[in-house]
Structure 1
């Protein structure tokens, strides 16, 4: 059984803040739209369902779930390939997977929520 990737909130927040303040290591412009924070209690019910599935290692509703998220958009902190994994957050009434995802990092409790298919991310604060 694979242990779901997680992180300590302080360590992840520091990495996120460092990335936001210092910017990317390259001089090329990036398309950072938004990296915010969201309280765990403010997530949609389906995101809570997805987080429970991650904690129990599935089963997942789509074959794309628990696959490597490559961070091609460059919005999340830069990490090695394989550090992030993505999971579908069901969108009620959608005929497809929809745009909502949870992306997890390897560190403890490092969960990002996106409602707009990777255009922006919110780090989940598990303390509220």
Structure 2
């Protein structure tokens, strides 16, 4: 085998390895959706059992117009594969932030209520302005800390305790 043939073989092998790693990443990133739409798009929403928290049945809970709640406890706005947490299981500071959101404020931080851009694409794709972010105070933190509630226009709520690296859908 000539040097050029060896080099071409190495290049092809490396490209195949990169493609395989990309596929593995796509399959393990969220819900196994590898069609390029990303986790949490409308085409990947489906009711499945909760992995965290026990939000209980959504019967009687406020369901946004145009959406239906799954009777087994998981609203259809929760992206497939996203963990859930009941509001009661959140830290006290997060429950207080949820109360302030429901009351329309007043909020303790100037940046509370600003548009959340969803640049991480971990939440379902929605038009700009659909999501707003709110600080969940972290006791002992010298700044706003990493905890946030992201609220959607359709009453959906998401909790992040790692500054948007991950989310849990908040169930009532």
TM over 0.5: yes
Could you tell me the TM-score, scaled by structure 2's length?
A: 0.56
Cα displacement string for residues 61-91 of structure 1 (whole angstroms, at most 9, x for unaligned residues): 1111001001000000000000000000000
Per the TM alignment, residue 9 of structure 1 is displaced from its structure 2 partner at its CA by 7.2
Q: Which has the higher contact order (CA 8 A, sep 6+)?
A: 1
1:16 to 66, 73, 78: 78
Q: Secondary structure at the match of 2:93?
A: helix
Partner Cα separation in structure 1 for residue 100 and residue 88 of structure 2: 17
Q: Is the 8 A contact 1:37 1:123 kept in 2?
A: yes
Q: Which has the higher strand share?
A: 1
Partner Cα separation in structure 1 for residue 68 and residue 147 of structure 2: 22
1:61 to 108, 111, 115: 108
Could you tell me the TM-score, scaled by structure 1's length?
A: 0.75
Per the TM alignment, residue 103 of structure 1 is displaced from its structure 2 partner at its CA by 0.3
2:164 to 109, 118, 125: 118
Structure 1, unmatched stretches of 5+, are: 1-5, 21-33
Partner Cα separation in structure 2 for residue 95 and residue 9 of structure 1: 41
Structure 2, unmatched stretches of 5+, are: 1-62
Q: Structure 2 vs 1, CA of residues 9 and 38 (structure 1 numbering), >3 Å: closer, same or farther?
A: farther
Question: Structure 1: which 4+ aligned runs deviate by more than 6 Å?
Answer: none
2:90 to 43, 56, 61: 43
Per the TM alignment, residue 59 of structure 1 is displaced from its structure 2 partner at its CA by 1.1
Q: Which residue of 2 aligns with 1:73?
A: 120
Computing the radius of gyration from Cα coordinates, the structure with the larger value is 2
Q: Secondary structure at the match of 2:134?
A: strand
Q: Secondary structure at the match of 1:10?
A: coil
